[in-house]
Amino acid sequence: MSTATTTSVDVRDVRRQFGDRVVLDDLSLTIGESEFVVLLGPSGCGKSTLLRLLGGLDRPDAGTVTVPKERAIVFQNDRLLPWQRVLRNVTIGLYEAGADERALAVLDEVGLKDHARAWPKTLSGGEAQRVSLARALVTEPDLVLLDEPFAALDAITRLRMHDLVRELRRKHNAAMLLVTHDVDEAIALADRILVMSDGRIGSAYDVRLDQDERAISAAREDLRAALLGDLGLAAVH
């Protein structure tokens, strides 16, 4: 299963259907090692289904899914265990000795070291989502799957989370797949943007922009227009 290559994820001709509804239709996808891929698409296009397949939470009806054994998922809602303090929430998947120290180190990276003893109910939405990021990264995964993790956050918190994700990516050398319906989020973070439609990858864009260009540039606007066009929103903007 875990063959050492430069591809982290290899999805081949995957098909997934619920009853008569075909959600993923002969979909293929590869993600390179430490590549940041953003999967963009409207609600119900099957992007979350694909993410669940990659996370091993679901099985394909046809085709093969090859993913690293060490992987982590950040869900749309923080999914913290309310009855465990923040630290224990982060160490949930850790079995080796020194789990607490590692968890504290990652909590420090997301700026929540002081909250290690806090109950989840005392955290704000952004803080809770940062804890779930820490929980994902503490196992040093080769692949991090992010399922619209910032969708429920306010705009300012979301921008801060983008900075945090970029920073964490520099420290942790993992491939990341982010599922979102937010075009700006995709442009802000992606090495490659894949637009999903009708259960397939409709179009793909390599994003070769530096951080400033991602914030404001003509190339950015062109990309944005192209993505909106792919999503069928060209007329709106």
Partner 1 sequence: MSTGFAPARVRSPRAATAPRERATETFTAPAGSAGGLTRLRRRVRWPLGIYTTPVAILVLWQVTSELGWLPEKIAPAPTAIIQAGIDLWKIGELGTDLTTSLRRVGIGLAIGLTIGITTGIIAGLLRSGEYLFNGVVQIVHTIPLLAVLPLMIVWFGIDELTKVLLISFGAGVPMYLNLFAAIRGVDQRLIEMARAAGVGRARLISRVLLPGALPGFLVGLRFSLAYSVLGLVAAETVNANAGIGYLINRAQTYLRTDQVFLGLVIYAVIGLLADQFVRILERVLLQWRPSYEAQ
* Span of 17-25, 91-99, 108-116, 164-172 interacting with partner 1 by CB under 8 A: 91-99
Q: Are 49 and 16 in contact (CB under 8 A)?
A: yes
Q: Which of 41, 46, 55, 199 binds partner 1 (CB under 8 A)?
A: 55
Q: Does 117 bind partner 1 (CB under 8 A)?
A: no
Strands (E), 135-229: 143-147, 175-180, 192-197, 200-206
The packing angle between helices 155-171 and 125-137, to 10°, is 20
DSSP letter, residue 46: S
- The distance of closest approach from Cβ of residue 206 to partner 1 in the complex, given in angstroms and rounded to an integer, is 29
Q: Which H/E stretch holds residue 118?
A: none
* Span of 2-10, 49-57, 158-166, 192-200 interacting with partner 1 by CB under 8 A: 49-57
Total of chain residues touching partner 1, rule CB under 8 A: 22
How far apart (Å, rounded) are the C-alpha atoms in residues 148 and 169?
A: 17
Site track 118-137 with partner 1 (rule: CB under 8 A), x = hit: -xxx-------------x--
Q: Does 88 bind partner 1 (CB under 8 A)?
A: yes
Residues in CB range of 23: below 8 A, 6 or more apart: 16, 17, 46, 49, 199
* Residue type present at position 110: V
- DSSP one-letter string for 58-80: S--SEEEEE--SSEEEE-SS---
Q: Does 73 bind partner 1 (CB under 8 A)?
A: yes
* Span of 73-81, 107-115, 201-209, 211-219 interacting with partner 1 by CB under 8 A: 73-81
Site track 190-229 with partner 1 (rule: CB under 8 A), x = hit: ----------------------------------------
How are beta strands 200-206 and 192-197 bridged, if at all?
antiparallel
How far apart (Å, rounded) are the C-alpha atoms in residues 17 and 24?
A: 7
Q: Which of 8, 49, 139, 180 binds partner 1 (CB under 8 A)?
A: 139
Which CB sits closer to partner 1, 109 or 230?
109
* Span of 1-9, 74-82, 219-227, 228-236 interacting with partner 1 by CB under 8 A: 74-82
Q: Which residues bind partner 1 (CB under 8 A)?
A: 55-57, 72-73, 75, 77, 79, 81-85, 88, 92-93, 95, 119-121, 135, 139
